[in-house]
A and B are shown apart, each in its own frame.
Chain A
Amino acid sequence: MRTLRYQRPEGVEAAVSAVNATPGARYLGGGTNLVDLMKLGVETPDLLVDVSGLPHHDIEELPGGGVRIGAAVRNSDLAADPLVRTRYPVVSQALLAGASDQLRNVATVGGNLLQRTRCLYFQDAGKPCNKRAPGTGCPAIEGVHRNLAILGASPHCVATHPSDLAVALAALDAQVLVEGGTGPREIPLTELHRLPGDRPERDTVLEHGDLITHVRLPAAPEAVNSAYRKARDRASFAFALSSVGAALEVRDGLVHRVRLALGGVAPKPWRARAAEERLRGAPATPEAFTRAVEAELSVAEPLRDNAFKVPLTRHLAVRVLCDLAGRAGGPR
C-alpha cells in the first residue's frame, strides 16, 4: 500500500528544503490539478508539501507601475483585483475564461502555471506517454489529438499546455520568482515552459525543489488595452481549442506597441514574436493583422485531426487585434 506524507511548513525555507530532501515530493497549492492526477495514478508523490499557508497571498503594486502577485493568490481573487482589472484586463479575462467559479476559488497562481496537459494519453496511466513515462511513445500522434498542438510539438509529444492565465502572462512578459534553496531568482514566463523536444517529461525549466513564490508583471502601459479570447467546445467549463491574449497601442494609425500570445495550440504558452515583429510600425488594419498572424502560423504543423486550429487561431487573433485597434482611440 502506498503511504503518503503531508506537511504544512511555516516558511519558504522549510518548504523548499523539505521538497529538496525528498525526490518524490510535490508542492501542493489548491490541488485542483495535482489531486486529480493522483487519483488517476499519474502523479504518485511520497510527500505533499502544502504551500498554501506560506505568505504569498498578496497582490502588491510595485514602484514604476508593475504588480507583484503572490503564488498562493487564488485565481478568483486575482481576476477580481481592481489593479489587475484596470491595468492588465487580459489577465482577468484569461482567468475568468478558465475552469469554474468553484475551481477558481481554490486554484492558485503558482499551481495554474504548473498544471499538466489534458492530453488523454497523459491522463491515462495505462497508456504509453513520453511525458508521463519517458520512452514509452506518443499514441496521440496517431490517436485522439483534435485538441492537441499545432506549434512547437515534437515527434515525442504533441501535448498542449492547458493554462489560460499563462497565455496572458506570456504576452505581458511576466517574470516568475522562484526560490530553490540557493536564493531567489527570476525566470521570464516565456522561458518557464519548455518545448518537448526529446525530453517531453520536463514541462518547465524548474528543478526539483524550485518553488514559485511570486509572479511579477512589469509595467506595460499598452496592457490597459488588452484582451483574452478563447474558442472551446462549449460555452463554459472547457479547455481551449485555441486562445489569444493580446495588448495593443496604436499611434497615428500605426501599431506602436503590440503583445500577442496564443494558447491551446502549443506545448507552452506561445508568444507570437514573429507576428509582433511584423506588426510594429505596420498599419493597424485587418489586412496587416492577418498577414502578421499568418506569418506566425506558417510554421504550424497540424496533425491529422487538428488542422482546423490553424484558421481558428488566425481568425481569433485577428479579431482580438481588430477589436483592440478599434478601442485604441478610447473606450467605446
Chain B
Amino acid sequence: MKSKIFVVEDHKEMRQAYALLINREPDLEIYDMAVTGEEALEKIESDPPDLVVIDLSLPGGMSGLKLIKQLHEDRPNLPLLVVSGHDDVYYAEGVLQAGAHGFVDKKEAPYVMVDAIRRVLQGEQYLSERMRQKLENRKTRPLN
C-alpha cells in the first residue's frame, strides 16, 4: 500500500518534477496537488492524505506559513514537510515552530527529498545536515 502524498506548489515545473520524482518510488504516490493554500485546505479536508509537501512561498492570501499553522491545528498528526527556496535558519525555525515536521531546501539533491518524505512519514523530524548545523551555529554563536 503506497503512502499518499499531497503537494502544495504553485510552480508548474516543480509540480511536474515532484510527480516524476515521487511516483517512481514503489512505496510513494502523488495523491493530489494544489496551487494555493486555500485549495489545499479544501481538498485535504474532504480526503486527507498521509503527508503534505508544502512550498513556503505561495501566491494569494494564504502564505505557506499560515497553511502550516492551519493544517497543524486541524490535524495535529498529519505529517507536514516544508520545501523552500530560502535556506535561512530564520525560516526553518519559524516553520518548525508552526507545526511542520521537516524542512527541505530546494537546493538539496533530489534524492534528499524522497529520503525526507520517508523519514517524516515514519514520525521523525527532518532537517538537512546543512540546516541542522546552521541552527546549531545560530544557537551557539558567541556575540563577539
Whether A and B are associated in the same complex: the answer reads: no
Residues of B within 8 A of A (CB): none
Residues of A within 8 A of B (CB): none
